[in-house]
Structure 1
Amino acid sequence: MTTVSGTRVDVISRDVLPPHSSIVVSARLAVTVEGAEGVVDLTGELRRIVADSGTAEGSLHIYCGHTTCGLVVNERDGGLDLDMGEVLERIAPHSSKHHYAHDKLRTPAERLVHGERDNGHSHARAMVATHPELSIPITSGALYLGRWQAVMLAEFDGPRTRELLARVHTALPPTTTGSTASA
């Protein structure tokens, strides 16, 4: 478990798959963001998953099945977080400052499902600033990230707990069928 400024990353399941699968480990992560918006560094937990898998060469695939948050690889820096917040406020102003059809055209039943929360800005921000999935190479048993790169979840509609799926794929050697020569 990693705890940073009102956030938490927990591995909620970890499965080791059968020997002849290219997927070595499949893990589900629960990421809790206690603020309305926030960036959570997942790099440490993902590095542990890769290290524990024993995979020397392959890739890590991580998927976020949500529409108001997403994944990003960039530098983990407080100043950059502030800059991106300002950029996103210009591109996709908060729902309280801008009309989003997503918010205003909902039926009363749809509003109840979403807790009466206007979140058009959250969808727009996730669409322009993040990805639903990432694939990162594993080489020499470690994630192949640049010196300043971190893998992060950017939340735009908190507070919430999000579930992510991470899978370690191994680069299996090609199977040889062997040829038999006829005499």
Structure 2
Amino acid sequence: MRQSATSLAISTTGRSLVETTREVAGWVHNQAVDTGLLTVFCRHTSASLLIQENAAREVPGDIIDWLNRIAPEDGGWQHDDEGPDDMPAHLKAILTGVSLSIPVMGGDLALGTWQGIYLAEHRTRPHRRNIVLHLMGE
């Protein structure tokens, strides 16, 4: 059993979903692991990770709109140290999660045909986010 780990820096443009499938899959492929398990972990409390459809252009925008309805900036939140998007960003990260487990089969991510890995940026301004990849396998 082998293990490998790395981190990826992802630049965001503000509230959005940033697809990271290509970068993650490329790193996994370079590890030469045939069968294993990849953990993807977001090191932030106001950003998160999703596996979601990557074929229809409208899906990311619809997800962002839905999250904004569930955790609006004008929700009367007490925590607003970094602005009105601060607490809603934390709530959205709770809902969507900061970690993913993805099987590796035949040296590739075992994602479905229309599945992609996304970093969800929940803040309104751009950030540089960090995700950690940990692969165990043989």
TM-score by length of 2: 0.90
Question: Which one of the candidate residues 118, 132, 136 is aligned to 1:152?
Answer: 118
**Counterpart contact for 2:16–2:61, Cα < 8 Å:** no
Question: Which one of the candidate residues 141, 145, 149 is aligned to 2:107?
Answer: 141
2:75 paired residue number? 98
SS of match in other structure, 2:64: helix
SS of match in other structure, 1:86: helix
1:17 paired residue number? none
Equivalents in 2 of 1:69, 1:61: separation in Å?
Answer: 16
**Counterpart contact for 2:34–2:106, Cα < 8 Å:** yes
SS of match in other structure, 1:101: coil
Deviations 1:27-53 (A, max 9, x none): 110011022x01111110111111100
Equivalents in 1 of 2:112, 2:133: separation in Å?
Answer: 20
Question: Which one of the candidate residues 55, 67, 73 is aligned to 2:33?
Answer: 55
1:169 paired residue number? 136
Backbone CA RMSD of aligned residues: 1.4
- Equivalences for 1:1-183 in 2 at 5 Å? 22-23=2-3, 25-35=4-14, 37-76=15-54, 77-94=56-73, 97-103=74-80, 111=81, 116-118=82-84, 119-128=86-95, 130-157=96-123, 158-171=125-138
Equivalents in 2 of 1:89, 1:133: separation in Å?
Answer: 21
Equivalents in 2 of 1:64, 1:146: separation in Å?
Answer: 22
TM-superposed deviation, 1:65? 1.6
Q: Tell me which of the two structures has the higher relative contact order, counting C-alpha pairs closer than 8 angstroms and 6 or more residues apart.
A: 2
Equivalents in 2 of 1:117, 1:102: separation in Å?
Answer: 9
Count of residue pairs brought into register by the alignment = 135
Equivalents in 1 of 2:32, 2:47: separation in Å?
Answer: 30
After TM superposition, the runs of 4+ consecutive aligned structure 1 residues lying more than 6 A away are none
TM-score by length of 1: 0.69
Equivalents in 1 of 2:104, 2:17: separation in Å?
Answer: 24
Return 5+ residue gaps in structure 2 as ranges: none
